[in-house]
Amino acid sequence: MSKSLLRGLLVIAVAVAIVIALLIIPARLPAPKHTSNDDPWVLVNYNPEDKYGTFLANGFISTRLMGDGVGNQGGKPLPCFAAGFYENEKLTPIPTWSDLRFYYGNTMFVVDKTAGYKQTLNMRTGIFTTYATWRAKKKMLTGKIQVLVSRADPNIGLIRAELTPSFSGVVGIGASESVTEANLVKLNGALLRLTGGRSAVLSVYQTKQSKIALAIATVVPTNVGVRENVKFEVRKWVSISTSTSTERARREALTALEHVLSDEGGAIIRHKRAWEKLWQKDIRAVGSSRKQQQIIHSCMFYILSSVREGSKWSIPPMGLSNNAFSGHVFWDADTWIFPALILQHPELARSIVHYRYHTLPGAIINARESGMPGAQYAWESGYTGREDTPEGLPYRHGRHINGDVAIAQWQYFLATGDLNWLRTRAWHVIKATADWWVAKAKWIPSKGRYEIHQVVPPDESAELVNNSVYTNAIAVINLRIADKASRVLGWKPNPRWLQTAEQMYIPIDPKTRRFIAFDGYGSGKFGPAYRAKQADAELVIYPLQFTIGQQDMTAIYENTFRFYAERVHSGGPAMTSSAHAVIAARLGDCERAYSEFVKSYKPFIRGPFNMFNEKPSRYLDNMCFLTGAAGPIQAILFGLAGIKMDYFGTSELTIKPCLPRHWKKLVIKKIQWRGKTFDLTVLPGNNVKITPLN
């Protein structure tokens, strides 16, 4: 045989082998090009074993998502939550509604980790997509699975799969609800025929003690016939409702499901438009890196995901990503998250202050049990507002929370000018907290002043102290707000409010002209080596904006900030640097302000989806610390953009920006203030452009 003939036969054999291989080996998703994860709007993950994951929510319901792309990871259900779903004052997971699995016979399709893989979280649309190849032995499904939690329809979630099989046959679909909480019992489950002729599975649950009902209605096929290389689609629609009435929960879940099924395409469009409307109120740091702009967006995205208009529930520190700290509400909501929303999203911020009105009866009971008048807001509160901090922990005495609550109520009124809100809601909270401070303040005859003893300051490591400067100052502000609010409403104020405020002791060192954190600071265990857990005395500058009479506070502010900013533990919570960024900006130190802004997020971002950690450590990998995520937003709005509310003077905002030299300009879209809407643009030289929009 000639060499040329041999070579020809060899080429033919190789070609035949390639064709046969292509016929018998199913196509898999090609490996995507790994671009840098710095798109300002899209977060990307290429690792199916990513341990951080993300969460989707709409302010009412949520789901955790990881490498498998749905509500389970490696066959283990991931937690889902619903706002206000408390059992015995603790936020309890709801059944995992977001699971969707595919089977060939008894074999489940799992992500092929050797094939191409990509996940995206589109923050513009709130849609999470997993592109992958799923394998059950030699059978393959290639394509994408998407998850959304409807921003437009609060009860609705959707899992949508578009897959191409490597075979012909029947694909089984598993979509069972996994109950991971022992305090939740299933009352009944039924297969129902809906108005349009489709079938839905309805499950009704109830918490054992609180007797809160939860209904889940689901539409999804149990199997689907497929053809080789022909794409098929599966949609799992879920509707969730909670209520104190099982019948109401059942009815609301079915009604919401039938509504969305009547126009499935419209439901998805409504969801996208709802997110589009939220993002009209954007924050754009023009000239920043793409990654930095992405982080600004992701901080806002996770906050916006955990609140919704018309809700009566506030935000726990982890939002709806997790039920750490029992899903309780702390001062985090009022002092750290609320200000990040109030200027652009007052309709969403309202839920935070409404929660405090809604739980005022619980705060009044707390006060009575302590032998006090007025209201004593819980350091940790859940469904009723009753104190749920574990007995014996000093944090139960973090009494500054009363003032934190009152200031947020007042800020909401200042921002909206809503007199009806002030009269019917905020006033009751402000008055009750002010009455409590009058009783809490202790008159010291020998010193001719009021003092506040045995409280835990923001620096929780200090535990019980006397005369926490933050606590005393916020008490004064709370009392002044009560006096001011009563006059705005045309009512006669309690004269003891201003009397107590004017004679309250505010610790200031006359030599160094700086605030003193609390009695005993600077000696003993609070000596030079002591480091606060987080910003404390400097918070009197911001967010309190505390002033003494008509005197110029600049020197006191500068001395206080320079001293205490260097005495905070480096491993503390994220909020410190964001407060420092605002303070530095207001003192005119723009370089320091920008540096602190970067420090407010950079050590805390985890994983490809920018999950925010509480501390620079890694022990909260699977939670998103919204308290911290609000920090960079506050740093921009109230520091770099220079926006300032005047609690007692002018009803207009003042703007004194501190534009970083790294940015070309800063644009804050659709600020809302007392019925006016405008865009704020900060230009080089800290020039300000205001564009009215109404």
Q: Is 445 helix (H, G, I), strand (E, B) or coil?
A: coil
Q: Is 304 helix (H, G, I), strand (E, B) or coil?
A: helix
DSSP characters over 310-337: T------TTTTS--GGGG-B-HIIIIII
Instruction: For residue 559, give Cα distances in angstroms to 42, 173, 313, 415, 594.
Output: 43, 65, 39, 31, 20
CA pair distance 51, 62, nearest whole angstrom: 18
| Number of other CB atoms surrounding residue 144 within 10 Å | 17
Q: CA angle at residue 238 from 232 to 244, to 5 degrees?
A: 175
| Number of other CB atoms surrounding residue 21 within 10 Å | 9
Annotated active-site residue in 87, 252, 538, 614: 614
- For residue 689 the two structure tokens come to 């452009």
Q: Closest by alpha carbon to 460, among 379, 561, 402, 527?
A: 379
* Burial annotation 159-181 (CB, 10 A radius, 16+ → b, else e): bbbebbbbbeeebbbebebbbeb
Residue 96: DSSP 8-state: B
Cross-strand partners of 146: 129, 160
Annotated active-site residue in 181, 264, 460, 558: 460
Residues 6+ positions from 331 with CB-CB distance below 8 Å: 379, 398, 400, 401, 404, 405
Which helix (H) or strand (E) is 499 found in, with range? helix 495-502
CA pair distance 508, 517, nearest whole angstrom: 9
Side-chain-side CA neighbours of residue 505 (13 Å): 22
* Burial annotation 285-297 (CB, 10 A radius, 16+ → b, else e): bebbeeebbbbbb
Q: Is 504 helix (H, G, I), strand (E, B) or coil?
A: strand
Instruction: For residue 465, give Cα distances in angstroms to 398, 441, 462, 535, 569.
Output: 10, 14, 7, 16, 19
Q: Is 590 helix (H, G, I), strand (E, B) or coil?
A: helix
| SS3 per residue for 342-407 | HCCCHHHHHHHHHHHHHCHHHHHHHHHHCCCCCCCCCCCECCCCCCCCCCCCHHHHCCCHHHHHHH
614 is catalytic: yes
Residues 6+ positions from 480 with CB-CB distance below 8 Å: 497, 498, 501, 647, 648
CA pair distance 89, 375, nearest whole angstrom: 19
566 is catalytic: no
Which residue spans within 448-551 are E strands per DSSP?
449-451, 508-509, 514-515
- Residues carrying an active site annotation: 460, 614
